[in-house]
Structure 1
Amino acid sequence: MIERINRGRVQASGVLLGPGDDAALVAAPDGRFVVTTDMLVQDRHFRLDWSSPEDIGRKAIAQNAADVVAMGAWPSAFVVALGCPADTALEFVDGLSDGMWAEAARAGASIAGGDLVRSRELVISVTAFGDLRGGAAITRAGARVGDTVAVAGRLGWSAAGLAILTAGSRPDDVAEALAAHRVPQPPYAAVLDTVTTGVTALTDVSDGLLADLGHIAESSGVAIDLDSAALRDPALERLAARMDADAAQWILTGGEDHAFAGTWSPETDLPAGWTPIGRVCAGHGVTVDGATRPGDAGWESFGGVDSAVPGRSR
């Protein structure tokens, strides 16, 4: 199976030695790695009746690549540990592997190795490595009062897709939302093309915009106020209306789109692909139009007995 997974694969330049030895060899040109890891468990983070194996593979890589890019680093290699039942079809593993390699290539990297074990359910653990190319890491702690808050990528569409799948209903024109949930499309280039242009703090939106901007606010010792008008998405609002749902709730707390949210020096013109959505202020916490929004700010893995929502990945 390991031979089958790796047959014909071509490693990216950051992988000096790929699968076949006791460990891989990955380049660290400036002497540092950005490293992150994430785990997906069947029926907790994805469902086999909702997503194809290719979708699951792409999603597993994308959420890790987004974390690396959110630090201002270029993805260089991924290591994947896969646990699966003994009766798992070979074609399923082929699709999973193809999806992983496709997303790794989209992120500019490759899969350097990993592990394969037998388990009761499907479990995927991905470790990602990134190269800062001599630059400084972009952390959550750099936001300053007066900075512009901006986002690259779409918000709320993955949450809309999850809502559709959970409800079991199919209103018209839902393919876009379903695709957004099944395979997130982090806009890697929007970050990596602009890492030296005035961004002061950065995160990927995995748990929800309010929750993830809350991490920036807390780490930086500031407050963030969002402009609800800047966050509106007419297409998403039309879909929400057909489902009797709240598009603003999807946008603010949905997560899993793996868009990027950051703060930018007020002297900097926002690069292409970034939309201003608010300001950094003195104080603490995240508000919308100056008011605290009631309810949860986003996803919590251990939020309570009933917190498990199949499809949520964080």
Structure 2
Amino acid sequence: MKTLALLISDYLVAAEQQKKLSLHTIKAYRIDLQQFAEFTQGNLADTDMLREYVIHLNKNFSPRSAKRKLASIRAFYNDIWTSGIIDLNPFEKLRLCIHSPQQLPRIIPQETIETLLQCAYNKYKGDRTTLRDIVVLELLFSTGLRVSELCSLSNDNFDLKENSARLLINGKGRKERIIQLTTPELITLLHVYCDVYRKEILKGNSILYNRDGRPLSTQSVRRIITKYLRVGHISAHITPHMFRHTFATSLLEAGVDIRYIQSMLGHSSIATTQIYTHVTTQKQTLLLAEKHPRSKMSFSI
């Protein structure tokens, strides 16, 4: 039988070439499986060793990370078992569940987003880089795209018309969705941007580029956000994914049906989208406590 290292290598190649999993998913699988191989010292684990590894995960990683890592290993074992490489799947006898408290999505206050955008617009003096930064911030706020989806925008999935823009997004699990943009100011901004970056877009096919003319990376997007947090003297830690949470929560608070939000976010299950209802419930409770006339009356017993 092949060594564990070779089995993992073959599995990752098949996941990329045959299953067509995204590069981000492959990267996560590689990290998870390499850490597992280091723990087992290169040996295939039995059920007892898997239990030990779960204990190790619980001690050293957050519940969310531990769940993901365990899922990566489970998928690997299922694959080599169905392929006949091993006779018994140790996960068949493993009855473990990593429980984690429900974590509500962190959203960005509206005034913070306004400050970020205002700082970017104030900095713009006709230079290409700041124009690109504004487009990045505007698209994050206006579309709910994952940062990987934003960086993957290309001539193949980005269709800019005179009065609208159509984004065909291939998200997690190869799930396709369409996002239609019609906000006049945003459409005008996109036209200006595409005119300025026309040479790069035609040559490289991508939509967003860094200063060196290479497609924008997810890390570059994080740096852009950090830059304007500093300019605006904002101490909060804000990630690209928080824009996605804010997008969804804002729509829900505006009365948009949750199934439309599910479609725009590309969630396979409505249960995933429903976590945002907890955020709006919290806000409703706060508003009731602050704004209802009873809070301004003083009675006691």
TM-score scaled by structure 2? 0.27
Which structure has the greater CA radius of gyration? 2
TM-score scaled by structure 1? 0.26
Per chain length, whose mean CA-contact separation is higher, i.e. which structure has more relative contact order (CA < 8 Å, sep 6+)?
1
Structure number with higher strand proportion: 1
Structure number with higher helix proportion: 2
